[in-house]
């Protein structure tokens, strides 16, 4: 079924001698299929095709792009159970979860298709001419967002569908009008091949140019670095570890002459602040919610709550007891891949043995079975403030409770915290108002502030922000989830005194599509007469 080829535009290609096989943590064995690592010639071919395709694809109508995205969603569904089963083998994730993730991935594509159909996202702004203005006339000026160029997407291991080959980065870049080259994640190369084939089929069926999408197989240190350094690549989407993200940042800023946007989502430990009165009132309910969040997907979510802030009290002790009680009942589950599992146990051991950190609970080390078990530690806030090492992400079902003496120390501890994707706070309305400074700090340090629920779960919608200050990402100005993600792959272009026939459709006087535009400072869907 699988061919182990790179997918270069409409061609399948396997010129290289070097191959590898995916390891299944679920089966504890290597899977049979061999995948061919892309050669330098194949990388070059994909880039050349992406450049040529961009020239065509960037100019086609939003509606045609929308049909392409819809067709990708349909082709993904067409892959049927083979896709789910392969992803299950390669990622160890349960079939139910993968089924949900597949739906989310298709819905993501459809959401961008809807955005394109509607059209207003491109931010058309028109200032009409004022020929008789004194002392100088004003020209006719019209601005709209245009795509940046070929985009490299680095697939993530923890969401083999939603943040991978046909995931959010690919969907938003294609929606923006960019051609895309995906670096497949080696942990799920078979899943990648199936998904890439679905995109390839959709491109052929809808008459998209050869090279609008390619998928290459190889390691970050070689393929990844080559893509990042290539002058033809105009933006990068990445989800992965801090180390890999910062290696990419180094390449982008030092190995290429022209700066490009790098959207690396890297490391977040997602603080959860538990306000004292509410914690005392709802001790068990909050413990249950957080235990579920800490262990969801074996803790392998970018929004996993790795830091819990509490103020010392009897209720806090009861909460920790309740949390441990729940965590200890969670069944060990298979982790994504060997490296993640090994790193999880190493990192949690490092945390547990850090000066000042108290181990409260740890499940057995099931590294040999590639399974993760939960762990919980506590630390006094003064120790947390003194040591930034306590903010190193432990990727897996492990969390650290930071115990503060009082509100003032809570604020100090939060102020010492790095940038995060999310910050959650549990409190009654009345208590939240008394802790407004805490809410303000969470707002300043995160991309999303969550009230009275756990951080895991990222809705794909218009208002979502999945991003945040460094080290959560390398660029806090954007989101990688939701329709806002399309903004990462565009730049504004202004047309001065341009003839109607040469203007982009949504800048023309006739606004028959009825997109929302800002005309002479006023929002309107009207045509210009």
Cis peptide before 135 (omega within 30 of 0): yes
Site for a copy of itself in 489-508 (CB under 8 A): 490-499, 501-502
Residue 197 token pair: 């084939």
Interface pick for a copy of itself out of 207, 408, 457, 527 (rule CB under 8 A): 457
Catalytic residue among 178, 302, 341, 377: 302
**Residue 197 DSSP class:** H
- Beta strand 141-147 with 125-127 is antiparallel
Q: In whole angstroms, give the CA distance from residue 462 to residue 115.
A: 10
- Beta strand 125-127 with 517-519 is parallel
Tell me how far, at minimum, the Cβ of 311 lies from a copy of itself, in Å. 20
Whether 476 and 470 have beta carbons less than 8 Å apart is answered as yes
Site for a copy of itself in 120-159 (CB under 8 A): 120, 125-127, 135-136, 138-139, 141-143, 146, 148
| Alpha-carbon distance values, 89 to 114, 205, 368, 396 (Å) | 33, 30, 17, 19
Q: In whole angstroms, give the CA distance from residue 3 to residue 19.
A: 12
Return the range that interacts with a copy of itself (CB under 8 A); candidates 2-10, 267-275, 282-290, 518-526. 518-526
Q: Is 447 in the site for a copy of itself (CB under 8 A)?
A: yes
Q: In whole angstroms, give the CA distance from residue 105 to residue 110.
A: 9
Residue 518 token pair: 């800002």
Cβ count within 10 A of residue 525: 12
Q: In whole angstroms, give the CA distance from residue 461 to residue 452.
A: 20
Interface pick for a copy of itself out of 459, 509, 526, 527 (rule CB under 8 A): 459
Interface pick for a copy of itself out of 49, 188, 348, 448 (rule CB under 8 A): 448
* Closer CB to a copy of itself, 36 or 488, in the complex: 488
Q: Which residues contact 132 (CB under 8 A, 6 or more apart)?
A: none
Clarify whether 265 is annotated catalytic: yes
Site for a copy of itself in 36-75 (CB under 8 A): 55, 59
Residue 13 token pair: 């290609």
Residues contacting a copy of itself: total by CB under 8 A:
76
Binding map of a copy of itself across residues 241-270, x = CB under 8 A, - = no contact: --------x---xx--xxx-x---------
* Closer CB to a copy of itself, 80 or 114, in the complex: 114
Return the range that interacts with a copy of itself (CB under 8 A); candidates 205-213, 293-301, 341-349, 442-450. 442-450
Clarify whether 393 is annotated catalytic: no
* Closer CB to a copy of itself, 100 or 207, in the complex: 100
Nearest-10 crossing angle of helices 189-205, 80-91: 150
Whether 332 and 373 have beta carbons less than 8 Å apart is answered as yes
Q: Is 436 in the site for a copy of itself (CB under 8 A)?
A: yes
Interface pick for a copy of itself out of 18, 81, 95, 100 (rule CB under 8 A): 100
Interface pick for a copy of itself out of 81, 406, 433, 434 (rule CB under 8 A): 433
* Closer CB to a copy of itself, 132 or 499, in the complex: 499
**Residue 121 DSSP class:** G
Return the range that interacts with a copy of itself (CB under 8 A); candidates 157-165, 195-203, 206-214, 455-463. 455-463
Return the range that interacts with a copy of itself (CB under 8 A); candidates 79-87, 220-228, 353-361, 484-492. 484-492
Catalytic residue among 70, 75, 265, 393: 265
- Residue pointed to by tokens 């997407």: 153
| Alpha-carbon distance values, 158 to 93, 221, 424 (Å) | 9, 20, 22
Tell me how far, at minimum, the Cβ of 469 lies from a copy of itself, in Å. 8
* Closer CB to a copy of itself, 346 or 463, in the complex: 463
Binding map of a copy of itself across residues 460-479, x = CB under 8 A, - = no contact: -xxxxx-x-xxx--xxxxxx
* CA 398 and chain centroid, separation: 21
Q: In whole angstroms, give the CA distance from residue 402 to residue 35.
A: 45
Tell me how far, at minimum, the Cβ of 195 lies from a copy of itself, in Å. 23
Q: Is 82 in the site for a copy of itself (CB under 8 A)?
A: no
Q: Which residues are catalytic?
A: 265, 302
């Amino acid at each position: 079924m699988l061919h182990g080829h790179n997918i270069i535009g409409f061609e399948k290609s396997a010129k290289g001698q070097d191959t590898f096989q995916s390891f299944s943590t679920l089966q504890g064995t290597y899977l049979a299929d061999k995948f061919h690592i892309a050669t330098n010639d194949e990388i070059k071919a994909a880039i050349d095709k992406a450049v040529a395709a961009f020239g065509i694809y960037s100019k086609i109508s939003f509606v045609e792009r929308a049909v392409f995205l819809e067709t990708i969603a349909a082709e993904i569904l067409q892959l049927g159970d083979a896709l789910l089963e392969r992803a299950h083998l390669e990622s160890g994730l349960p079939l139910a979860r993968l089924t949900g993730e597949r739906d989310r991935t298709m819905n993501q594509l459809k959401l961008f298709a809807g955005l394109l159909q509607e059209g207003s996202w491109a931010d058309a702004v028109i200032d009409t001419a004022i020929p008789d203005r004194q002392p100088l006339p004003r020209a006719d000026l019209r601005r709209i967002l245009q795509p940046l160029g070929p985009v490299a997407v680095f697939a993530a291991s923890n969401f083999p569908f939603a943040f991978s080959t046909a995931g959010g980065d690919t969907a938003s870049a294609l929606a923006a009008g960019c051609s895309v080259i995906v670096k497949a994640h080696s942990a799920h190369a078979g899943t990648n091949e199936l998904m890439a084939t679905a995109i390839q089929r959709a491109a052929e069926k809808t008459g998209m140019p050869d090279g609008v999408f390619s998928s290459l197989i190889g390691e970050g240190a070689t393929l990844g670095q080559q893509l990042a350094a290539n002058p033809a690549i105009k933006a990068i989407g990445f989800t992965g570890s801090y180390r890999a993200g910062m290696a990419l940042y180094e390449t982008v800023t030092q190995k290429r002459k022209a700066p490009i946007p790098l959207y690396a989502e890297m490391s977040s430990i997602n603080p959860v602040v538990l306000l004292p009165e509410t914690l005392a009132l709802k001790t068990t309910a909050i413990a249950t919610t957080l235990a579920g969040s800490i262990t969801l997907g074996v803790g392998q979510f970018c929004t996993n709550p790795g830091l819990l802030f509490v103020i010392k009290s009897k209720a806090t002790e009861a909460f920790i007891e309740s949390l441990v009680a729940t965590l200890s009942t969670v069944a060990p589950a298979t982790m994504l891949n060997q490296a993640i599992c090994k790193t999880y146990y190493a990192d949690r051991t490092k945390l547990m043995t850090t000066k000042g950190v108290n181990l409260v609970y740890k499940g057995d080390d099931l590294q040999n079975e590639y399974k993760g078990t939960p762990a919980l530690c506590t630390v006094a806030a003064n120790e947390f403030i003194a040591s930034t090492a306590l903010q190193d992400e432990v990727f897996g079902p492990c969390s650290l409770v930071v115990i503060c003496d009082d509100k003032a120390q809570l604020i100090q501890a939060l102020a010492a915290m790095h940038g995060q994707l999310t910050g959650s706070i549990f409190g009654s309305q009345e208590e939240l108002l008394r802790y407004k400074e805490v809410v303000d700090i969470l707002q300043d340090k995160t991309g999303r502030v969550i009230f009275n629920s756990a951080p895991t779960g990222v809705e794909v919608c218009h208002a979502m922000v999945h991003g945040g200050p460094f080290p959560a990402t390398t660029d806090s100005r954007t989101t990688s989830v939701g329709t806002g993600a399309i903004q990462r792959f565009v730049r504004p272009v202004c047309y001065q005194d341009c003839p109607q026939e040469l203007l982009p459709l949504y800048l023309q006087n006739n606004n028959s599509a009825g997109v929302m535009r800002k005309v002479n400072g006023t929002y309107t869907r009207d045509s210009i007469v």
